[in-house]
Amino acid sequence: MKKILVIDDDTLMRRSMAYNLEQAGYKAFTAANAEDGLEIVRNSPPDLVLLDIGLPEMDGLDAIKQIKSISPIPVIFVTARRRELDEVVGLELGADDYITKPFDHDVLLAHIKAVLRRSAPAAEFAPTNPIQAGALFMDPVTHTARLAKKTLDLSPREFDLLYLLARDRNQVKSTSEILSQVWGAEYYGEPQVVYVHIRWLRKKIEADPNHPSLILTVRGVGYKFSGGD
């Protein structure tokens, strides 16, 4: 039986989600704040965490960093902050999915099933060898990335995405190809994940992210890494 931890300071929401999870065949744990939730993660790690962003004291954005430092447990953000969707889709913080309040419980269960499915198999793409593409050097064994003499601070997804583009320098990669190789087949139909990560990468490696010279958009097709030279 899969164990799911619900961290939400809304008592009715917390109880409702726990009840519906139990009815769907999951074992539900609950916490009203991030601190209590982290204690559960440390002592009885769940298979998935449903994490509210608007928690008191330590909010969900800070809590997920600590959760992921303890274990690579999949996390679904539960948020009412539609204006922060980019940050939530983020998935730079390590969130695996998000759902906005109010939501239908059947929709929540569908999200949970999808995340649990895709958290098991690895994506098709597994970088292994160091590469040099122009001024960019990447070593997947040590998770090292340098552009000229600057060390890049990349999340695992950002690293894999940049490695894929740089390894096949000047070759156009379609969004669907990127999703399949970096995220896995379960992400088909979710191109926004790629768009967001491309934007984050450009902020980290481009001299002018609004006028990129390294990661280029090929309209109607996808992206390519030019190397800038």
What digits encode the pLDDT tens for the residues 120-166? 544 556 677 899 999 999 998 888 999 998 999 888 888 999 999 99
The tens digit of pLDDT for each residue in 192-201 reads 888 889 999 9
Distance between CA atoms of 52 and 50, rounded to whole angstroms?
7
Domain topology for 3-119: Rossmann fold (3.40.50)
- For domain 131-225, give the CATH number: 1.10.10.10
* CB-based contact 228:134 (threshold 8 Å): yes
Instruction: Give the list of residues 6+ apart from residue 161 with CB closer than 8 angstroms, or none.
Output: 178, 182, 194, 197, 198, 201
Q: What is the mean pLDDT of residues 46-62?
A: 89
Tokens of 83: 């204006």
Provide the angle, in degrees to the nearest 10, between the axes of the packed helices 105-119 and 11-23: 70
Query: Is a pLDDT exceeding 70 seen at residue 223?
Result: yes
Nearest to 218 by CA among 155, 166, 183, 171: 171
Q: What is the mean pLDDT of the chain?
A: 85
Q: Where are the domains of the chain?
A: 3-119, 131-225
64: left (phi over 0), alpha (psi -120 to 50) or beta: alpha
The tens digit of pLDDT for each residue in 4-25 reads 999 999 999 999 999 999 999 9
Owner of token pair 């999703």:
179
Rounded to 5 degrees, φ, ψ at 156 are -55, -40
Assess whether the region 3-119 and the region 131-225 belong to the same CATH fold.
Answer: no
- Looking at residue 126, its pLDDT comes to 65
Distance between CA atoms of 174 and 218, rounded to whole angstroms?
9
Instruction: Provide the whole-model pTM.
Output: 0.55
